[in-house]
Structure 1
Amino acid sequence: MSLLSIWAKDYKNLNFYSTPLELKPLNILVGPNGSGKSNLVGLLNLIHLSVFQNSEDIKGLEYACDYLGGSHLLYFNRERPSEVSVKYKFTGIAETRNQPIHLDLKLFVSQSSNRIELSEDFLYSPVRGDEDQPFYYYKFHDHSIGSGVLSILQPDGSQRFQRISDIPVDSLGLLSIDERIQKDEEVRELLLKSSIYAVRQHLLDEIKGWRFYNANHMNSQKIRNAEPKVSSGSLNTYLSESGENLAAVLEQLSNDSVDFEERFNEAVKQLFPMTRRIRATRAGLLNLTIEWSVQGIGKGLTLRDMSDGSVRMLCWAVILLSPKLPSLLVIDEPELGIHVAWMKILAGWIHYAAQRTKVIVSTHSPDLLDCFTDRSDCVISLNLRADGLVSLDGIQEEQFKARLQEGWELGDLYRVGDPSIGGWPW
């Protein structure tokens, strides 16, 4: 399963509900500060954070909305009360006869409260590929808030709708179905006759599998000093957002895959040709650190002997070269603190990851953009309009063909301020 497309209406400064953003295996976001790159990433984080129950008191949706801005999710020029509309399209599975899966949400922003609640929550697939003929697995809050219908499988193979009530407005239907199963035996029996359960489980697994990384959140000093606990299983399959479990992830992936260990060491030799080997090793009985063996130096070095940019590149190498990639990998400004000479190496790692999963990269670096000149079809330029909204524009290579033939690269257009490639908007 994979995310195919997203739609948004009145979500902050994004309004592209009539024409969705179709995601490719590799997607490069460019645009000036304030153009909406972080808002676009926030659209993905909205449902990612919503599928986690953060505590007994705060539901995932409430936490996600608060984290992303609360009532400020609504476009600033829209009067309250109003709604924010978002939609996500995923590849299909056997249970949907390989028809794509749609999740449609409307978030209600009231006049007086900063709290955001669901006013629509639909899960459906097209019938025989016809997007205008949806088959609904559930429709919650459709005619009245707090009620909705489930699609129930009949003995003869046909479907019928069963209306249910007491549906929470602060939790996605993907989760509230589970809540109802625990509380309501009648609903539990209904769901056993439904095709919803397999579909929603695949969807939850997909969304929970997404990973988000922002270079601003990686504290090189803390990564250097961290000595994560030795663990087993899948606890350290993925690097944390802060990067402080770097040694534990490196050990886990190296134990699981000799190919990864070799590939990671070759990657480090690209950065530092004098490297003999880099590996996770014990720091006492229960903790881990990273040992860096260098030609001509008898004593092993550690992360404390590396610069901030070097430590960050190790993080990107673990993330992008991993044999166990997340189902969606979102990276914000990976170029921060990285020398220009390493941009080509970093871009190569990004290309390698995008061959194996869906990757979204947001960047302000013309040097990194240079490395994607032959993949200009993957670049999405976010441009501010006079009304404060943003247009999402694909790069039209024909427009720059003459310059490219002269030897220009994509980053050169950014450097000279071409607004169509994220250059100066003023």
Structure 2
Amino acid sequence: MSFSVRDIWFKGYRSLRSIHFEMGELTIFVGANGTGKTNLYRGLQLIQAAARGSFAHELAREGGLAAALWAGTRPKNEPARIHLDVGLVGEAAAYRYRIEAGLVQQAGGAIFGNGFLGEPQVKLETLKFSHRGREQTVLERKGPSLTILGQDGKRRSFGVPLLASETALATLHDADRLADIAAVRRALIEWRFYHGLRTDRDSPVRQPCHAVATPTLASDGHDLAAVFATLVHIRTDTAALEESIEEAFPGARLVVPMPDRTASFGMVFPDNARRIYEAGELSDGTLRYLAMAGALLSARLPPFIALNEPEASLHPDLLVPLAGMIVRASQRTQIWLVTHSQTLADAIRDLSGVGPHRVVKRDGETWLEGLRLSGDFADED
């Protein structure tokens, strides 16, 4: 079952005091440094972390909940919490997943709850299902207590109290009786985030990898050679890949040997057509562009791809070809793009008709120009 992201609502996370907006198949964000673009991207990563079971660990790596909480003012009686909420829609049904994290409660030196002092504590978690105007709460977690809706329509308690660091979405694995929960968890885990793919000498992208048929590029790009080999030798579908390379590097071609125990690739350039430049020899910009090609043109795209500043290290001449790959991929899957480059955003708009949302800061709060409190945009009227 495949789902697209219908809307998100992030509240209390870093510079995101409270922001809710609807998503399209291609959503582009442009803004200056310090406006909070990466916080929007990071909020989606935390939702995926909830599905993977690493939600508390991810927040701990950010410096703990205290460092990740909205630092501005809040209503007097409102608890200090991070609220992440995503709406998913499929062919026949829609789901809404919500998770809230807060601080461990203390009174008289005692800690309330089953977590450590200072760790992010999951306070609330819900998964709601809606179909033909009818909504049901499939999963509801408050603190350590959890109730679920079975296939028989009856609610029951989950027998084991959850630790403060655990998420219900990752803990429940009974796919036979909890098909809705399993479907949402699987959809979120399949998301891909491509940010800062390393191109240094020891980066995974430069290394040969195991020769295993690979339909989708990993988030760190370590299986790029296998992705190319799958397109060339198994799917024999390289038209889009060849076109994207020709647009970026006229006269050059990608060389992908038939794998044995490992898969590898190289490039041949017109000024030295007899020499194959292996991945370890390619420039950072060339390698990053090829990694984006692997992410966006692979044999099977994930249901959702988030790109954070994919233009980094690229020569300006490569931005229009990159825009073409992004638009082509958006016809197969849902794309979320965060970029500093107005040139890239303009090229995508020219090719797709989809304009960017400008990310701004107002009184320390991240916001999108034209966004209304209803979650839609003024320019959509």
Aligned twin of 1:32: 32
Q: Deviations over 1:275-307 (max 9, x none)?
A: 2x4222269x63333233345632333235532
Assess, with a 3 A threshold, how the Cα gap between structure 1 residues 301 and 160 changes in structure 2: closer, same or farther. closer
Assess, with a 3 A threshold, how the Cα gap between structure 1 residues 78 and 108 changes in structure 2: closer, same or farther. farther
Alpha-carbon contact 2:97-2:128 (below 8 Å) kept: yes
Aligned twin of 1:116: 120
- Counterpart of 1:299 in structure 2: which amino acid? R
Assess, with a 3 A threshold, how the Cα gap between structure 1 residues 165 and 376 changes in structure 2: closer, same or farther. same
Consecutive unaligned residues in structure 2, runs of 5 or more: 107-116, 372-376
Consecutive unaligned residues in structure 1, runs of 5 or more: 54-59, 182-190, 400-426
Aligned twin of 2:193: 212
Assess, with a 3 A threshold, how the Cα gap between structure 1 residues 110 and 389 changes in structure 2: closer, same or farther. farther
CA distance in 2, matches of 1:242, 1:176: 26
Q: CA deviation at 1:343?
A: 1.2
Q: CA deviation at 1:136?
A: 1.0
CA distance in 2, matches of 1:362, 1:140: 33
Alpha-carbon contact 2:56-2:120 (below 8 Å) kept: yes
Aligned twin of 1:76: 71
Sequence identity (%): 23
- Counterpart of 1:51 in structure 2: which amino acid? A
Q: Deviations over 1:86-135 (max 9, x none)?
A: 21111146xxxx231111211112367321111111111236326xxx31
Aligned twin of 2:139: 138
Alpha-carbon contact 2:197-2:220 (below 8 Å) kept: yes
- Pick the aligned partner of 2:85 from 84, 87, 94: 87
Alpha-carbon contact 1:218-1:241 (below 8 Å) kept: no
When normalised by structure 1's length, the TM-score is: 0.75
* Residues 1:315 and 2:294 aligned together: no
Instruction: Tell me the SS of whatever aligns to 2:217.
Output: coil
Aligned twin of 2:344: 368
Instruction: Tell me the SS of whatever aligns to 1:166.
Output: coil
User: Higher relative CO (CA 8 A, sep ≥ 6), structure 1 or 2?
Assistant: 2
- Counterpart of 1:249 in structure 2: which amino acid? V
Alpha-carbon contact 1:81-1:111 (below 8 Å) kept: no
Instruction: Tell me the SS of whatever aligns to 2:81.
Output: strand
- Pick the aligned partner of 1:267 from 237, 244, 260: 244
Alpha-carbon contact 1:123-1:139 (below 8 Å) kept: yes
Aligned twin of 1:152: 150
CA distance in 1, matches of 2:262, 2:24: 40
CA distance in 1, matches of 2:158, 2:341: 52
Q: Between Structure 1 and Structure 2, which shows a larger proportion of helix residues? A: 1
1:271-290 map, 5 Å:
271-275=248-252, 277-281=253-257, 286-290=261-265
Assess, with a 3 A threshold, how the Cα gap between structure 1 residues 136 and 5 changes in structure 2: closer, same or farther. same
Aligned twin of 1:412: none
* Residues 1:61 and 2:55 aligned together: yes
- Counterpart of 2:306 in structure 1: which amino acid? V
Q: How many residues align?
A: 356
Q: Deviations over 1:4-26 (max 9, x none)?
A: 11111211111335xx2211111
1:154-303 map, 5 Å:
154=152, 159-168=153-162, 169-178=164-173, 194=177, 197-214=178-195, 216-223=196-203, 226-233=206-213, 236-259=214-237, 261-275=238-252, 277-281=253-257, 286-295=261-270, 297-303=273-279
User: RMSD value over aligned CA atoms?
Assistant: 2.9
Assess, with a 3 A threshold, how the Cα gap between structure 1 residues 255 and 66 changes in structure 2: closer, same or farther. farther
Q: CA deviation at 1:161?
A: 2.3
Aligned twin of 2:111: none
Assess, with a 3 A threshold, how the Cα gap between structure 1 residues 291 and 361 changes in structure 2: closer, same or farther. same
CA distance in 2, matches of 1:352, 1:26: 11
* Residues 1:380 and 2:357 aligned together: yes
Instruction: Tell me the SS of whatever aligns to 2:291.
Output: helix
- Counterpart of 1:303 in structure 2: which amino acid? A
Structure (1 or 2) with the larger CA radius of gyration: 1
